[in-house]
């Protein structure tokens, strides 16, 4: 059965912007405190570990995206390289994990922009983002480009101001970077939480059916977006830890805003809060975009209701999938809490990338990627996933088991009906 195709309207700049908009979101504002609580004075080591795993995942995803440039990302790769059950597992983990990410982003929008009414504001944010995505991917890309530019400039501005000489003495102190107690398990847990802030480059691959010349553009866009984000996160991490110290960062509800208040004055804290809210809105925009495309791909194969395959309008938008994703995210926003959503999202997305690395390993004789990068990425994903907070691991494992039960039940019904 043939399905309507999405339109290929995105070039390298557009695809990289989607990845940047997904990563340079609330992650850079929200993850430092829980990471510092877990890793103490070794937060930067945890950041390096999370970044290394992200690089392996990105290279594996890029190699696969060049081979299979269609909507769905690792759901498609797992199905083609490992078999239907692994593709389904990847798609299920992505949809479930990223739905939690959407809820986290929506609540972050509310907590930064409307303190005291974060859930209500989060609901408004989800409705607004869903409406924008229904107008077409190009409008979403334009919005992401504006958001990334504003947030990137503000973060770099805070970093520069923190190290400039001051009449009352320097605020930034390199000696604070390694202060505080730490443990190996704490570093692993922090890396798992920090991975939440890196996971957005998958959005580029899930939009593969809407990218021009995808075999060339998608790998370049993934590498470009992740490279920019790695540099930005290191700059922000060094700035926050150098000004507040690991202990001060661990107890701060808004570390970047607190640093801004110290280097620019109290009024600047509200400017950064506003930008954090906008950044979270941009991340939410791209998350909903990616989940709807993976849902579309799974529905095409019968794993989700066929109605989700509907593509309509002059912009060729999967409107039913967009609307369903928006409604589900609204429900999660009303029920979940922010910290739990971050940990749960990381668990699902790490398993998703585990399937991506396993799929890329099968390309070891067919591409320049080799074997050690996907092997290292797979091991890294599994180690970070089981190192997350216990509640996130138990909850995530339960939902993965539920997904596999649904798959088994569907397969049994298909066999009995054959």
Q: 164 pLDDT band (50/70/90 cuts)?
A: confident
Q: Inter-axis angle of helices 255-264 and 214-250, to 10 degrees? A: 70
> Domain segments of the chain: what residues?
12-411
What pLDDT does 205 receive?
A: 64
Distances (CA, A) of 9 to 144, 168, 316: 16, 53, 11
Give pLDDT, residue 272.
Answer: 81
- Which residues partner with 207 through β-bridges? 71
Window from 37-41, 80-84, 251-255, 406-410 with minimum mean pLDDT:
251-255
In terms of Cα–Cα distance, which of 204, 227, 195 is closest to 380?
195
Q: How far apart are CA 205 and CA 207, in angstroms?
A: 5
Exposure string of 208-233, with b = 16+ CB inside 10 Å and e = fewer, is bbbbeebeebbbbbbbbbbebbbebb
Most confident listed range (180-194, 232-246, 266-280): 232-246
Q: Checking phi first, is residue 69 left (phi over 0); if not, alpha (psi -120 to 50) or beta?
A: beta
Q: Look at phi and psi of residue 6 and say left if phi exceeds 0, alpha if psi is from -120 to 50, else beta.
A: beta
Lowest mean pLDDT of 47-56, 277-286, 373-382, name the range: 277-286
Check pLDDT > 80 for residue 22. no
pLDDT confidence tier of residue 112, bands split at 50, 70 and 90: confident
Highest average pLDDT, of 286-290, 291-295, 335-339, 404-408, comes from: 404-408
Lowest-pLDDT range of 44-48, 158-162, 368-372, 394-398: 368-372
Residues belonging to the chain: 418
Local confidence band at 9 (pLDDT 50, 70, 90 cut-offs): low
Tokens at 329, concatenated: 């995210």
Tokens of 298: 């799974």
Say what the pTM is: 0.80
**326 contacts 238 by C-beta, under 8 angstroms:** no
**Mean pLDDT over each residue of the chain, to the nearest integer:** 82
Angle CA(383)–CA(386)–CA(391) in degrees, nearest 5?
Answer: 160
Taking the C-alpha atoms of residue 412 and residue 410, their distance in angstroms, rounded to an integer, is 5
pLDDT higher than 80, residue 135: no
The whole-angstrom separation of Cα 114 and Cα 157 is 24
pLDDT of the residue at 154: 85
Say if residues 351 and 95 touch (Cβ distance below 8 Å): no
DSSP state of 4: P
Encode pLDDT of 220-239 as tens digits: 888 888 888 888 999 999 99
What's the pLDDT at 1?
Answer: 46
Q: Among the ranges 38-47, 155-164, 199-208, 378-387, which has the highest mean pLDDT value? A: 378-387
Per CATH, the homologous superfamily of domain 12-411 is Amino acid/polyamine transporter I (1.20.1740.10)
Specify the range with the lowest mean pLDDT, choosing from 48-62, 95-109, 179-193, 292-306.
Answer: 292-306
Q: Phi and psi of 163, rounded to 5°?
A: -100, -5
What CA dihedral angle connects 296, 300, 303 and 307, to 10 degrees? 70
State the pLDDT at residue 359: 94
Give me the mean pLDDT over the 260-267 stretch: 84
Q: Is the pLDDT of residue 181 over 80?
A: no
Kindly state the average pLDDT of the residues 95-107: 84
Beta bridge partners of 32: none
């Amino acid at each position: 059965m043939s399905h309507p195709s999405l339109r290929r309207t995105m070039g390298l700049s557009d695809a990289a912007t989607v990845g940047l908009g997904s990563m340079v979101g609330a992650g850079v504002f929200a993850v430092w405190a829980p990471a510092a609580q877990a890793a103490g004075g070794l937060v930067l080591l945890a950041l390096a570990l999370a970044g290394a795993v992200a690089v392996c995942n990105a290279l594996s995803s890029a190699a696969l995206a060049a081979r299979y440039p269609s909507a769905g990302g690792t759901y498609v790769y797992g199905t083609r390289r490992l078999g239907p059950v692994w593709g389904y597992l990847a798609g299920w983990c992505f949809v479930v994990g990223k739905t939690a990410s959407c809820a986290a982003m929506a609540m972050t929008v509310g907590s930064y922009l409307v303190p005291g009414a974060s859930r209500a504001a989060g609901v408004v944010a989800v409705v607004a983002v869903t409406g924008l995505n229904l107008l077409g991917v190009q409008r979403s890309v334009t919005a992401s480009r504006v958001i990334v530019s504003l947030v990137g400039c503000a973060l770099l501005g805070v970093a520069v101001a923190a190290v400039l000489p001051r009449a009352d003495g320097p605020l930034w102190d390199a000696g604070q970077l390694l202060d505080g107690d730490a443990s190996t398990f704490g570093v692993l847990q922090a890396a798992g939480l920090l991975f939440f802030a890196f996971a957005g480059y998958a959005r580029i691959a899930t939009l593969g059916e809407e990218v021009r010349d995808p075999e060339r553009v998608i790998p370049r866009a993934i590498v470009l977006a992740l490279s920019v984000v790695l540099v930005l996160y290191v700059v922000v991490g060094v700035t926050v830890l150098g000004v507040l110290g690991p202990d001060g960062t661990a107890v701060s509800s808004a570390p970047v805003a607190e640093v801004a208040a110290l280097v620019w004055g109290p009024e600047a804290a509200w400017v950064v809060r506003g930008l954090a809210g906008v950044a979270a809105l941009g991340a939410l925009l791209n998350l909903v975009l990616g989940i709807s495309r993976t849902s579309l791909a799974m529905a095409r194969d019968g794993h989700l209701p066929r109605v989700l395959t509907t593509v309509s309008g002059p912009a060729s938008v999967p409107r039913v999938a967009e609307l369903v994703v928006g409604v589900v995210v609204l429900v999660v926003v009303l029920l979940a809490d922010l910290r739990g959503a971050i940990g749960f999202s990381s668990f699902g997305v790490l398993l998703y990338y585990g399937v991506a690395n396993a799929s890329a390993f099968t390309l070891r004789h067919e591409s320049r990627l080799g074997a050690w990068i996907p092997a290292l990425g797979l091991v890294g994903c599994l180690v970070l996933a089981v190192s997350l907070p216990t509640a996130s691991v138990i909850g995530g494992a339960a939902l993965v088991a539920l997904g596999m039960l649904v798959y088994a039940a569907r397969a049994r019904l298909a066999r009995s009906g054959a």
